[in-house]
Amino acid sequence: MNYKDEFLCSRLYGILQFNGLAWLFLGVPTSSSLLYQQEFQKMTEKAPENFRLDYAVSREQTNEKGEKMYIQTRMAQYAEELWQLLMKDNTFIYMCGLKGMEKGIDDIMDSLAARDGIVWTDFKKSLKKAGQWNVEVY
């Protein structure tokens, strides 16, 4: 194990002392691209109430409509639960990936917000201002 792997493992195992929930949505083109599978599996086994993991493997998985499984597709399956988490002051979103991926997630959140009479763009601005919505794209 190299120093980067050791660092990640130490961070992941630190979640065991964490009282909240860390929910990772990880997207890759093929399952052979999945990094840290064993470490993530250990975390879900050791701390299922603190660590959740959902993969989106675009070239191998599809949704119920037969569409490729991207991050936004996987997140749509948990849309209501994610929306309820966003309503809490102690929820923090960290999103990173290809530029443009956030549009699919914005579309999901926009429909949920509209249902509750909330303007998503305004709500997202308030989340950003509070440091609760963080996006890093390339």
Section 28-49 average pLDDT: 89
If pLDDT is split at 50, 70 and 90, which confidence band does 13 have? low
pLDDT in tens, 93-106: 998 888 888 899 99
The two structure tokens encoding residue 98: 């290809």
Would you state the pLDDT for residue 73? 92
Q: How is 65-88 classified by DSSP, letter by letter?
A: TS-B--HHHHHHHTHHHHHHHHTS
* 44 compared with 79, residue with greater pLDDT: 79
